[in-house]
Amino acid sequence: MIVEEKILELERRIKQLEATKKKDQLSMVVFSGELDKLLAAMIIATGATAMDMEVKLFFTFWAISALRDKEKRAEKKELTSKMFGAMLPKGTSDVKLSKMNMAGAGLSMLKSLMKKKNVASLEDLLQTAGELGVEINICEMSMNLMGFSKDEMIDYPKLDYCGVGTYLSDAEESAIQLFI
C-alpha cells in the first residue's frame, strides 16, 4: 500500500538525519599555553557544564604545560627532552600572558585585577572543571614530543590520553567545536 511505502521512505530519511545528529556537547582543542587563552578555554568549558552540556577538552602542544604538577618529577628522560621540558612552564601558576608580559608586570597586574574583580583563577577553574565532570584528554603524541610524561601530570578526575582520532570522533558529534 502506498501509505506504508511512504512511511518506510520517511523513516529511512529520518534515520539518515539521526546518524549526523549533534550531541549537546562541547569539544575544544586547547593548544595555546598562555594564561589568557587558558582562562578563556576554562571559562567556556565550565560555563558549558552549567548549561548541562558534556564538555571534552583535548589538550595539545603548549597547553599541556599547564597540566604539569609542580611537585611531581618525571623519571628517566633523555637529554633533549629534559632540556625542552625544563624550558616550558610547569603548571598553572607558571604560565604567562600572550602579550603585555613586560617582565611579568602585565601578568601580575592582571592577576591582581582578577582577585579584585572576583574572577576565578586558572587553578580554581581547573578544580571546578574537574568537579563538574569536564573531561580532559591529553594528546599523547604532543605530550611525548614536548618531553613530558604521564607521571608528571596533575591529579584530575577525568584525565585521559588519546590521539587525534579520538578528538575527531568527539568533535564530529559535538554541537559546539572550538580551537583555542
Question: 176: number of CA atoms within 13 Å, CB side?
Answer: 18
Of residues 170, 150, 167, 7, the one with CA closest to residue 72: 150
Kindly tell me which of 60 and 137 has the beta carbon lying closer to its own copies: 60
Scanning residues 63 to 92, which ones bind its own copies (CB under 8 A)?
Answer: 78, 80-81, 83-84, 87-88
Cell matching residue 104:
611579568
Classified as helix, coil or strand, 39 is helix
Member of 74, 132, 141, 159 binding its own copies (CB under 8 A): 141
Amino acid 66 reads A
Please give the torsion angle defined by the CA atoms of residues 163, 127, 155 and 138, in that order, rounded to the nearest 10 degrees: 10
Kindly state whether residue 162 participates in binding its own copies, applying the rule CB under 8 A. no
Give the DSSP letter of residue 151.
G
Kindly state whether residue 172 participates in binding its own copies, applying the rule CB under 8 A. yes
28 phi and psi angles, rounded to 5 deg: -135, 130
Kindly state whether residue 133 participates in binding its own copies, applying the rule CB under 8 A. no
What is the torsional sign of CA 170, 172, 176, 180? positive
- Given a contact cutoff of 8 angstroms between Cβ atoms, the answer to whether 57 and 32 are in contact is no
Stretch that binds its own copies, among 69-77, 129-137, 151-159, 160-168 (CB under 8 A): 160-168
Kindly tell me which of 71 and 78 has the beta carbon lying closer to its own copies: 78
CB of 155 to its own copies, least distance (A): 26
The binding track of 22-51 with respect to its own copies, each residue x by CB under 8 A or -, is x-x-x--x-x-x--xx--x--xx--xx-xx
Amino acid 174 reads S
Q: Under the rule (CB under 8 A), what is the footprint of its own copies? A: 3-4, 6-7, 10-11, 13-14, 16-18, 20-22, 24, 26, 29, 31, 33, 36-37, 40, 43-44, 47-48, 50-51, 53, 60-62, 78, 80-81, 83-84, 87-88, 98-100, 106, 109-110, 112-114, 116-117, 119, 141, 144-145, 147, 163-165, 167-169, 171-172, 175-180
